[in-house]
Amino acid sequence: MKLVLATNNKGKVREMSEILAPYEIEVISMDAFEHIGEIEEDGDTFRENAVKKASITCERTGLMSLADDSGLEVDHLGGAPGIHSARFAGEEKNDEANNTKLLQLLAEVPAERRTARFRCVVAVAVPGGWVYTAEGTCEGVIAGEPRGDGGFGYDPLFYLPEYGKTFAELDPGTKNKISHRAHALAGALDILSELKKVEGKE
Amino acid sequence: MKLVLATNNKGKVREMSEILAPYEIEVISMDAFEHIGEIEEDGDTFRENAVKKASITCERTGLMSLADDSGLEVDHLGGAPGIHSARFAGEEKNDEANNTKLLQLLAEVPAERRTARFRCVVAVAVPGGWVYTAEGTCEGVIAGEPRGDGGFGYDPLFYLPEYGKTFAELDPGTKNKISHRAHALAGALDILSELKKVEGKE
């Protein structure tokens, strides 16, 4: 079964491909299509953006498409950077600049008030205007300095007290079990696995 | 949301449209497409035929497609006519000839051994090779003579003791609640309604 991943973010493509690998799903990246074009993420919520990306990609490829929109919500910043996570430090997407800005904003904030969560909404769109969404979160704390070089985005600053590691220090197998994206995809997989049920008894 | 009904059987289109009406699903009949062509029902099971019809229609229309394959299983005839229900009396589909043949085969069979069931398998196919199936049955008895002029196919002979009526005598609203097709579609609707879930809370 084919599924288009509606993202140009190589980190997301890698993670989602790893999570979907056991499900006999042929993941197709956007590179396979020449004329998809940019899709502006101008929604007010993760859900709006995910639905928009999945729906437009589905329309343009004619195949079932899955998109995610995700971001970091820092409690001390009232939920920022949220849907602006990728462009927190400026119009150009820059993980390092985003992390630096976040550390500066939290410079005087003690550990116990650096709570945060990653949130992810996954949308699955099917030709004909059908769309389904699922959401996942992962709770953590913003570290005092970047640690680790796995993952992408804010991962080096996202510290999980129960593991004593940041997302960037966790092995990918563990991250792909506990992350916001893993939880959101698990919801989508409930639908995807239903859609494969052909081998039932007559 | 659009859904193509992969059948040329006007009775099935009417029934499925009635059953799907409350779900805000825009049902598109095969008449809307010029080049679908005939799809040969050469499978060994209802499931195989339903999957084939839904998959090919989905491929040719580019839209999510729903097909059913269904038939009558008469216990005294070892499950016949089964997948051959539509062409029981000959290559040309003919409801009246089929009913006449069935009555002749059961002419000497007393009421208590005229048990039968309608069976329906519904397949939902999604562009990209995804397919889902659901099954439904309805138990009844083959009447001694045709009664009623609603429904289609073997409905005038399919008697429901608990209603004291044949399928052809039942009002459509009741038939659409208890029929094999209603039960199979209910299974498909579980998936279809999941695929519409966008309005969840952020």
Query: What domains are there in chain A, each with its CATH number?
Result: 2-201 (3.90.950.10)
Q: Which residue has the tokens 């493509």?
A: A13
| Cβ of residue A198 closer than 8 Å to a chain B Cβ | yes
Find the CB nearest A200 among B124, B133, B191.
B133
| Per-residue model confidence (pLDDT) at position B9 | 83
- Optimal mutation site among A195, A196, A197, interface B, most CBs of chain B within 10 A: A195
Sequence-distant (≥ 6) Cβ neighbours of residue A162 within 8 angstroms: none
Sequence-distant (≥ 6) Cβ neighbours of residue B114 within 8 angstroms: B74, B76, B106, B141, B142, B143
Put simply, the answer to whether B129 touches A2 (Cβ < 8 Å) is yes
B198 neighbors A46 (Cβ within 8 angstroms): no
Put simply, the answer to whether B128 touches A63 (Cβ < 8 Å) is yes
Put simply, the answer to whether B195 touches A196 (Cβ < 8 Å) is no
Find the CB nearest A128 among B2, B130, B200.
B2
Q: How far is A147 from chain B (nearest CA, A)?
A: 31
Phi, psi of A173 (to 5 degrees): -60, -45
C-alpha torsion B185→B186→B191→B194, nearest 10: 130
The two beta strands, A65-74 and B115-126, are: unpaired
| Cβ of residue B129 closer than 8 Å to a chain A Cβ | yes
| Per-residue model confidence (pLDDT) at position B33 | 85
How do the pLDDT tens digits run along chain A, 202 residues long?
A: 899 999 888 888 888 888 888 888 889 988 888 777 788 889 999 999 999 999 999 999 999 999 999 999 999 999 999 999 999 999 998 999 999 999 999 999 999 999 999 999 999 999 988 999 999 999 999 999 999 999 899 999 999 999 999 999 999 999 999 999 999 999 898 888 888 777 543 3
State what percent of residues in chain B have pLDDT above 90: 72
A146 neighbors A99 (Cβ within 8 angstroms): yes
Task: Assess: ipTM above 0.90.
Answer: no
Category of B24 on φ-ψ map: left (φ > 0), alpha (ψ -120 to 50) or beta:
left
Which residue does chain A place closest to B124, by CA atoms? A195
Q: What is the pTM of this model?
A: 0.81
Put simply, the answer to whether B195 touches A124 (Cβ < 8 Å) is yes
Instruction: Kindly list the catalytic residues of A.
Output: 69
CA distance to B17, B27, B33, B187, per residue, from B24 (Å): 11, 9, 21, 17
| Cβ of residue A66 closer than 8 Å to a chain B Cβ | no
CA quadruple B9, B10, B15, B19: dihedral sign: positive
pLDDT surpasses 70 at B199:
no
| Cβ of residue B194 closer than 8 Å to a chain A Cβ | yes
* Calpha distance A194→A23 (Å, rounded): 12
A163-166: long-range contacts (C-beta < 8 A, 24 or more apart)? Answer: none
CA distance to A6, B51, B85, B130, per residue, from A30 (Å): 6, 29, 46, 19
Helix-strand-coil split of chain B, %, nearest 5: 40, 25, 35
